[in-house]
Amino acid sequence: MPRAGTRRYSDTPMEVEMANADSHPRHHTQKMQKALQQIKDHLRADIAKVNEPQLKSMFETSAEVLGGLIKAFQDYEQKNEKAWRQAS
């Protein structure tokens, strides 16, 4: 960001590309899917590390829910569900 009193006349090509990526929905859906997948993997890995059955169950259920969210993001990207298609 420019300092106060300085002017910025043009963005570099990389800055323009980054701004375009930030405004594109796929950029955001991909980032969310990656983050959700990392948490899902962590939960699944931790199932083997805990001894309490209720906690194992909560981790497994949470991983399944995150899998559903990941699928919802994929469906949005691919417009697989009627709700994600634009009305004509």
With vertex at residue 67, the alpha carbon angle to CA 19 and CA 24, rounded to the nearest 5 degrees, is: 15
What CA dihedral angle connects 21, 22, 27 and 33, to 10 degrees? Answer: 160
Integer Cα distance of 26 and 16 in angstroms = 17
Judge whether 13 lies within some domain: no
Contact between 57 and 47 under an 8 Å Cβ cutoff? The reply is: no
Domain span at 69: 30-79
pLDDT tens digit at each of 88 positions of the chain:
555 555 555 566 655 555 556 677 888 899 999 999 999 999 999 999 999 999 999 999 999 999 999 999 999 888 877 776 776 5
DSSP structural state of residue 78 = H
SS3 letters for 11-76?
CCHHHHHHHHHHHCHHHHHHHHHHHHHHHHHHHHHHHCCCCCHHHHHHHHHHHHHHHHHHHHHHHH
Helix (H, G, I), strand (E, B) or coil at 77: helix
Q: What per-residue confidence (pLDDT) applies to 42?
A: 98
Asked if residue 49 is part of any domain, the answer here is yes
In a domain, 17, yes or no: no
* Domain membership flag for residue 55: yes
Is 51 contained in some domain? yes
For the chain, the domain total comes to 1
Residue 10 lies inside a defined structural domain of this protein: no
